Structure 1
Amino acid sequence: MCGAASHAALRTAGTSGPGPAGEPGRQSVRDVVARLRPPQAAARRYRAQGWWREETFADDLRTVAAEEPDRTALVSRRHLDGSVVTLTFRELGRAARRVSRGLRTLGVRPGQVVAYQLPDRWETVAFVLGCIEAGAVTVPVLDGESPAELERVLEATGASVCAVGDAGAARALARCGGRLPSLAHRIVLGARDGDGRTDGPAAGGDGGALDFHHALLSATPGDREDPPTPLPPDAPALIAFTSGTTGRAKGVLHSGNTLYAAVTGARDCASREPAGGVVATTAPLSNLVGVRHAVLEPLVHRSTTVFLDSWDPAALVELAAQHRVDCLLTRPADLRRLLHHSPGRPAASLETVVCTGSPLPADLVEAVERGWGVRVRNAWGMTETGGALSTAPDDPDGWAARSVGRPWPSVEVRLREVGEAEPGTSQLAVRGPGVCLAVLDPARGQVTWCPDDTDGWFDTGDLVRDDGRGGLRLVGRRSERVLSAAGFMVPVVDVENVLREHPDIDDAVLVGCPDAAHGEVPRAVVVAQGRAPSLENVRDFLSGRQVPDWHQPLCLGTVPRLPRNGMGKVARNRLREALSCPAGAHGTAH
């Protein structure tokens, strides 16, 4: 049994529901959410181990607001006017209660789906916490995804409410018309200034949408204390969509307890900031990583989160110094840009940089550790698994570029050798309390994986090797695999790291290039730093770095910049489409 319903039933049952969910072979996400629960044996085990609990994040918010009401919960900077909003836990709790009350007034009931595509502002934190208090199933959508992708998410989930960042996005939703019959309310945050003015519907935007502050944050006489109605901790509470760098995104269902395990699972290996710390993050609040670190962790660890709604390295440095940030949670692309702006330590209080989301280039780690005098940590996880591995404070200098670290105390790992890869390369599977309840194919309305399928083991698709210190070194993803002319799998991450050391290359990825004789050969796609290198020059450089000939690219392409998704990962599928390589045509292409 996969919780309350058999997985077979969840796979195949055609049910009535919003939109196309009543089509044969499809079922509504609402029905899946209502029926899906974790396997009972696993739930008992994780509770006994202390990774799961009976309480909810709504309880955490009320507790910290009562016990430490004046502690700073968040610092939010808006790029439009440079204003900075600081909220205490008391103020954040009050804002979350108002959002919860506003959602109930709009007809949202426990178990209904509420989506948002909002910028990284304090209102977004209050919105997510308000959804939790109201018992809504929350669906974050990256603030930058296309209107078509947002529509697909809303159609697949049957969301009844969607909050967006501006009136233009609300108008785009309005044009969807009958394609989104479940969508009862559109809410616009807009660009509100200190006098309460907004560029949302109240200022001539889409008149069919509701103003965020008026509908959700307006005070009422007495500001009555409505009791929260959070979902049970084992019920699906959030649907996150994967980044989709190699194909269409999937929906990943998490409960309050799987999210709690991801927040607390690293407690014994110190891969997060200490309790009460101040964390600056560049992770989007409309992504699971941002939700976990900027919304949920502060409630449990009583820490402060600092974030901006638009990339501004000067502003980030200023905030880091002013608020004594001791930990920076970021992505490699953002870290490189921040390093370029601030070659010296951005704040005297900064002790640790934690990177997630992409492989860490060795030159970047070395430059940060040498220039800033702080330790860089590598943390590995997936939308489906939450955090699972990380490097440690006592690892050697530069280790974050060579390893994704050891498993968290809550996480089990299983390695399976891959036939076409070099000996010692294995495919990684993980099991633990932070692994999701299920994976959903939104296009077909079907559950494609839940823990009963594999006794809880989730096949990550990542290829790894032993790092020599009890941890793992990331080699690449099986779905992004590149084969040599001899038919063996190339260690993509290793080759990309060496390519980035080339003096004429600013950034690089390795992809497959169709080949008439061999089926596929490696192709390097590079962003030139000044003069573009030739294929011969690149291969000579790699040979000088002891990269085996069969690991080296036989094709070379140059682009002005690498396409990336909202999480900073290279969108390899878009790159392959943009750079077609004729079969058998080896050499340099632009």
Structure 2
Amino acid sequence: MRTAWESIVAPTGLARRYREQGWWRDATFSEDLRESAAEAPDETAFLTWRQREKRLIALSFREFDVRADAVAGALQRLGVGRGDVVAYQLPAWWETAVLMIACQRVGAIVAPLHTLSGSFETERVLAATGAVACVVADEYDGVGQARQLLEQAPRLPSLRHRIVIGDAAATNAVSLDDVFYGRHSTVERPSDLVPFGSDEVCALLMTSGTTGESQLVAHSLNTLYAVPRQAPAPGQLRALTSGMSFVSAFRMTLHATWRGVPTLFSDSRSPETWLDLIEEAKVTELRTSPRMLRTLVEEQRRRARDVSSLESVCSFGGVIPPVTLSDVRERLCPVVRNVWGMTECGNVLTTAAEDPPEQASRSLGRMGQDGGEVRLEPAGRAHHRGDVFRLHVRGPAVCLATVGRDSGQVRWSPDTDDGWLDTGDLVTPDGTGGLRFVGRVAERIGDAWQVPVTDVENALLTHSGVEDAVLLPWPHTDGRETPCAAVISATPLELRDLRDHLDRLGFRELCLPTRIEHVTEFPRTELGKVRRKILLDRLRERAAVTAG
């Protein structure tokens, strides 16, 4: 049975406390946009690069507001209203941001789908959310999304509207291109709208599902608002390389309704394109993933661009390997910060610009300034790292609930454990007041002693023959759970090569892999995170076939 989204609300006491502390409010992002459009109509809200058209599009606050009104009116005429779920699978286009605000104005809950999600995942999310409408591009990145949605529709009884940006006629879908692109001579502000309150569910975000079943994460306008805002700064431009469906980009898109530092998005993941944009647009702050940083460094090494405008690089989505950090500081920007966060709680920990240069590769950082708290619960010991703790967080940016995608049941809410959310991450103190990442609980390897998964993976990357490596749990013949190294390499490596390399670096015997598996690529999320469960299942199937 599917969860009734209107039943998920912030506890009264929690809402009161965060309002008194100034983290939550009664206003909305839609109202922020109205105010910005009135105060600075021609000022740029954000920029998007359109790869197919080879052009950079700047959307002003006036255009943002007017087009959001037009799309809200179109949704209203389709019968979409308060409490309905509108899903979308769209690139980092300005149309995506407009749709997000339009849905807020009609009171519809948005459910963004990652652009790299295949039909199996998207259909399950559409079913789990009970989406009444889904908005897709006719085609993107070689995938015919409109035709895929047409094929899924008969199995989705709640889906009333297939909305296509581009060629909608080819699949007999609804086209809203005229309202998106302002082809009507006049746009009237829609009336009789029933937007939701700032403490109600406004978005259902997907977790990456790297170690298990994906979850739906229910956020309100306030849990998405509760981060410090940057004051306007002339000449500053932030760039974010992920799609708008990820929580950092999703928040940033909503905060683009306010006159702060503008953000640049792109529908291309190409490192060549991104380096060109950094050079041409004079980006001052880059926010990206460790995986993307590696490809940017490789491309910058191949053909250097002028990236001297960069004042800082902020890495999220995983720990930065030391070898990558060194290359980034040399070829992109000397100031590199690491940020830890989750879809469920936003960014919680961060290193600081004034920290030692190597800090971003050895620490998740310290508590930020978003009113959050952390709690550490003992979870055993890791080799050469001492005590390991399970990380819990709570604060104004933590979601209203997590819901099993397939079960449809609430797994966590703020009523659980006095608002403490178990992140599933294992950490250890870094010795400077911050926390060092050890691994995910679902990735843990070992019994009484736990293998420091991240440390071993980073160490494997320093082997000259290893292009990429992931450590996975594997049953040993004696019944123990031991490390298996899945590696990508130009030439086959022997297990002894890896073990000797780690031994020379000072790792104990129980940290050394007992098995090696060669692969040509890792299954990844759009942020570049390895989908470990899928990888492990594939390797186990391969091993079973070989054994049989």
Shift of 1:162: 0.2
Shift of 1:552: 1.2
* Alignment partners' CA distance in 1, 2:492 and 2:336: 31
Taking a change above 3 Å as real, the CA distance of residues 346 and 282 of structure 1, as seen in their structure-2 partners, is farther
Shift of 1:346: 4.5
| 1:426 equivalent in structure 2 | 389
From 526, 529, 535, the equivalent of 1:566 is 526
Q: State whether structure 2 residue 431 is matched by structure 1 residue 455.
A: no
Shift of 1:534: 1.4
Shift of 1:512: 0.6
* Alignment partners' CA distance in 2, 1:516 and 1:39: 50
In the alignment, structure 1 segments of 5+ residues that lack a partner are 1-25, 191-199
| 2:289 equivalent in structure 1 | 331
What do you get for the CA RMSD once the two structures are aligned? Answer: 2.3
Q: State whether structure 2 residue 458 is matched by structure 1 residue 500.
A: no
Taking a change above 3 Å as real, the CA distance of residues 583 and 102 of structure 1, as seen in their structure-2 partners, is closer
Equivalent position SS for 2:320? coil
Q: State whether structure 2 residue 135 is matched by structure 1 residue 163.
A: yes
Shift of 1:87: 1.1
Is contact 1:466–1:472 with CA below 8 Å preserved after alignment?
A: yes
Shift of 1:286: 2.2
From 79, 103, 115, the equivalent of 2:75 is 103
* Alignment partners' CA distance in 2, 1:275 and 1:38: 37
Taking a change above 3 Å as real, the CA distance of residues 318 and 577 of structure 1, as seen in their structure-2 partners, is same
| 2:202 equivalent in structure 1 | 237
* Alignment partners' CA distance in 1, 2:39 and 2:194: 21
From 351, 367, 373, the equivalent of 1:407 is 367
Shift of 1:311: 2.0
From 292, 295, 301, the equivalent of 2:251 is 292
* Alignment partners' CA distance in 2, 1:372 and 1:449: 40
* Alignment partners' CA distance in 2, 1:362 and 1:131: 42
Shift of 1:469: 1.2
From 338, 344, 367, the equivalent of 1:378 is 338
| 1:417 equivalent in structure 2 | 378
| 1:575 equivalent in structure 2 | 535
Shift of 1:420: 5.7
Percent pairwise identity? 40
| 1:543 equivalent in structure 2 | 503
* Alignment partners' CA distance in 2, 1:251 and 1:332: 25
Equivalent position SS for 2:415? helix
Letter in 2 for 1:161: A
Letter in 2 for 1:243: S
Equivalent position SS for 1:277? coil
- TM-score, scaled relative to structure 1: 0.87
Equivalent position SS for 1:425? strand
| 2:176 equivalent in structure 1 | 212
Is contact 2:300–2:331 with CA below 8 Å preserved after alignment?
A: no
Question: Deviation digits for residues 26-56 of structure 1, max 9, x if unmatched?
Answer: 2x34x2x212211111111111111101101
Letter in 2 for 1:222: T
| 1:61 equivalent in structure 2 | 33
* Alignment partners' CA distance in 1, 2:531 and 2:46: 31
Letter in 2 for 1:430: V
Q: State whether structure 2 residue 388 is matched by structure 1 residue 437.
A: no
Is contact 1:352–1:374 with CA below 8 Å preserved after alignment?
A: yes
* Alignment partners' CA distance in 1, 2:348 and 2:289: 17
Shift of 1:335: 1.2
Shift of 1:487: 4.5
Residue correspondence of structure 1 range 269-418 to structure 2 within 5 A:
277-293=236-252, 295-300=253-258, 302-343=260-301, 346-409=306-369, 410-418=371-379
Aligned length: 537
| 1:3 equivalent in structure 2 | none
Is contact 2:45–2:259 with CA below 8 Å preserved after alignment?
A: no
| 2:186 equivalent in structure 1 | 222
From 437, 440, 445, the equivalent of 1:477 is 440
From 137, 151, 173, the equivalent of 1:175 is 151
Higher mean C-alpha deviation, range 445-454 or range 250-259: 445-454
Is contact 2:246–2:343 with CA below 8 Å preserved after alignment?
A: no
* Alignment partners' CA distance in 2, 1:316 and 1:273: 24
* Alignment partners' CA distance in 2, 1:504 and 1:559: 14
Is contact 2:74–2:176 with CA below 8 Å preserved after alignment?
A: no
Letter in 1 for 2:76: R
- TM-score, scaled relative to structure 2: 0.93
Equivalent position SS for 2:540? coil
Is contact 1:345–1:372 with CA below 8 Å preserved after alignment?
A: no
Is contact 2:70–2:188 with CA below 8 Å preserved after alignment?
A: no
